[in-house]
Structure 1
Amino acid sequence: MMNMIDIACFEVNEHGRLLSGNRRFCRMFGFEPSEIPWHYVTDLYRHVGDWEKFRRDTENASFTMRMKNRRGRSFDCCIVREIFQNADGEVIFRNTIHKIGEGKAYVPQTVPLSVVFLAKCSDCGAQIRVASAPETRLRMLCNSCAAKTFPETFYGKTAQV
């Protein structure tokens, strides 16, 4: 297995905006760390349509893509991604990227992809899991707040009038 220092890592949001990248990523693509937030991930792909394939594929965690650096030189890469949701409810792709043919590729042990969506309780502000991204925008209650506010519904009892 390779040393993690030799692995290029970057994060991108669901709209394609680059959020962060480590030093290895900056060297691989010719960016300065301060320039990363000004670029989109489509600046890295040799074929722009590959980003759409990457973004929409929810079954695979590893991809082989043709990437290009700032000078326009292209190379084949293996990208391993993890999908998560940040505290603001945005879907983020955390990626490790390795040039094919440059030593042994780092492929972490992954389980099938699962996305966890989190929302905040509208009463206490605690994070709660929800089933889909649209539910993160709804007014939700955690179990303890729901039990206090609507005890008859929460415990499955009928209300006495």
Structure 2
Amino acid sequence: MMNTIDLAYFEVNEHGRLLSGNRRFCRMFGFEPSELQWHYVTDLYRYVSDWEKFRNDTVNSSFNTRMRNRRGRSFECCIVREIVQNADGEIIFRNTVRRVGEGSNVETQTTPLSMVFLAKCADCGAQIRVTSVAEARLRMLCNQCAAKAFPEAFYRKSAEV
């Protein structure tokens, strides 16, 4: 079984700017952690058009492509992504990268895409998970605030479960 600590992990926004990366990612691509925010994900792809294909693919959560390190050496990679919307409504791609042949426990292209949408509680401001982008724009309450504001409805619903 492959250890998840050994996986290269990075986050990128929808415009392609690198937001963060773990130590394994920095070693794989030749970056220092402090300089990641100055680079775009297109600096990592061997063919820039692969980023556009990956970003616009709404069916698959994994993608095989050629990537390159800072020295220009290219290698075949498998990227597994998760699309997350933060509380400010920005789309963020959370990616796990591994070289092809490095391990076989990472999911393949048949994995369905998973999306997580977050909203802020209208009363306390805590982040809550919602099921769609439309719900992220509505006035939502977390469980604690809902129990305070509407105790009869909240406790009746939990009693029925």
Q: Same fold (TM over 0.5)?
A: yes
Matches within 5 A, 1:142-153: 142=141, 144=146
SS in 1 for 2:103: coil
| 1:45 and 2:45 are equivalent in the alignment | yes
- 2:106 counterpart residue number: 107
SS in 1 for 2:115: coil
Return the TM-score normalized by structure 1.
Answer: 0.75
- 1:54 counterpart residue number: 54
- 1:155 counterpart residue number: none
Return the TM-score normalized by structure 2.
Answer: 0.75
SS in 2 for 1:67: strand
- 1:73 counterpart residue number: 73
CA distance in 2: counterparts of 1:100 and 1:128, whole angstroms:
33
- 2:155 counterpart residue number: none
Equivalent pairs counted in the alignment come to: 145
What does the per-residue CA deviation read over 1:38-92, in whole Å, with 9 as the maximum and x for residues that have no partner?
Answer: 1110100011111111111111111101101111111110111111122322211
CA distance in 1: counterparts of 2:37 and 2:118, whole angstroms:
25
What does the per-residue CA deviation read over 1:109-158, in whole Å, with 9 as the maximum and x for residues that have no partner?
Answer: 996223232333445535462632x764x46344959x87xxxxxxxxxx
Amino acid aligned to 1:69: N
The unaligned stretches of length 5 or more in structure 1 are 149-161
Bigger mean CA offset, 1-10 vs 110-119: 110-119
CA distance in 2: counterparts of 1:118 and 1:100, whole angstroms:
33
- 1:158 counterpart residue number: none
RMSD over aligned CA atoms reads 2.7
The unaligned stretches of length 5 or more in structure 2 are 151-161
CA contact (8 A) 1:122 1:139 kept: no
Identity of matched residues, %: 68
CA distance in 2: counterparts of 1:93 and 1:131, whole angstroms:
17
CA contact (8 A) 1:119 1:130 kept: no
Change beyond 3 A, Cα 1:86–1:100: same
- Greater CA radius of gyration, 1 or 2? 1
SS in 1 for 2:139: coil
CA contact (8 A) 1:62 1:78 kept: yes
Matches within 5 A, 1:82-161: 82-101=82-101, 103-108=102-107, 112-125=112-125, 127=128, 129=130, 131-132=132-133, 136=136, 138=137, 140-142=139-141, 144=146
CA distance in 2: counterparts of 1:51 and 1:11, whole angstroms:
14
SS in 2 for 1:95: strand
